A and B are shown apart, each in its own frame.
Chain A
């Protein structure tokens, strides 16, 4: 707060100095960029637009604005399969010494999953207090290598859908069965592939059967 006040004061002094010479303080509408690893980002301020290339760590609009002019930096186009946001993108030129918005971009995430079936309980509890035996949950664990891990349980449902990993466009997935359920053998199909946005992967099938 103290800083912006001081900044405003400096800006005011600067502005008055400049206007004394017949000029007017000019401000660059600019900021920092993070996480932009692909092309396609377009920013706008009022009627002005700029394209920000991949790898950029900063941006600046070529058109400077006068002291007191309102600015409002918005994202008019996200890069494909990325979502960007602006912090501190709105204000009045001269309120701070310089304009410093922060644009940050993150890749969209897509799920890898499918359906499972045959995950039944194969044993009952043996209560000693006379209560009715209940099904012992039967579990199977899926992993995406050393990454995501998910456990499916017969107690939730013997069949249904599952999500094994959440990844970004272009990433490889390769799902394995880490632990088999008790007295069942599960097999997995379509477990390998590459994420092709905007589609999530839903074609994995995990089939569990009693050994013959």
Chain B
């Protein structure tokens, strides 16, 4: 509370000083929340006044900005038009702003929402030496059944896509009848910036 009072007084003072010099007479800190972000690369721009704000970890400029919240340092005036847009996305995700534009007032200037969703990638691989049915591979709670086939190796893809930058860990959940399969490549890893259709290799004997 004390901090808030202090901040508002500072803001007021700033406003007074700025307007004395003919600058912005803003009193509202354009700010909001971010979800789904855990790396650098996002850049926001308020096209209303042209201010650019990179969202970087450990950025302790005044005001503090983090992966979960942001504040534009420049204050905006009541009724000043603002429009917070995403001018750069982090390379693993696409971020979308909502409740992001209008004529500024206390009901909208503090509540801009930025939602980041990781780009979805496919994960798969191949199984060699499989001569019977029943093999089930698991990536955590996601599974894929691999049936025997005339082709060797047999390729597979997990039905559910995975967000870029997520980890994965593959185990044999169920062995095929009379055979023993082991994961020989890609038992663990991280989803990169493209589909990974041959990341995993399984050998059955």
Contact = CB atoms under 8 A, between A and B. Distances in A.
A165 B140 contact: yes
Interface stretch (A113-121, A123-131, A174-182): A174-182
A144 B187 contact: no
B169 A175 contact: yes
A145 B166 CA distance: 9
Contacts of B187: 176
Contacts of A145: 138-142, 168-170
B141 A176 contact: no
Interface string A140-152: 0001111111000
B36 to A, nearest CB: 15
Contacts of A165: 140-141
A180 to B, nearest CB: 10
Interface string B141-163: 11100000000000000000011
Interface in A132-176: 143-149, 165, 167, 171-176
A174 B167 contact: no
Nearest to A143: B169
A176 B171 contact: yes
Interface centre among B142, B162, B191 (most CB of A within 10 A): B142
Given A143-B167, A146-B163, 8 more contacts: A143-B188, A144-B141, A165-B140, A176-B171, A176-B188, A178-B167, A178-B188, A192-B173
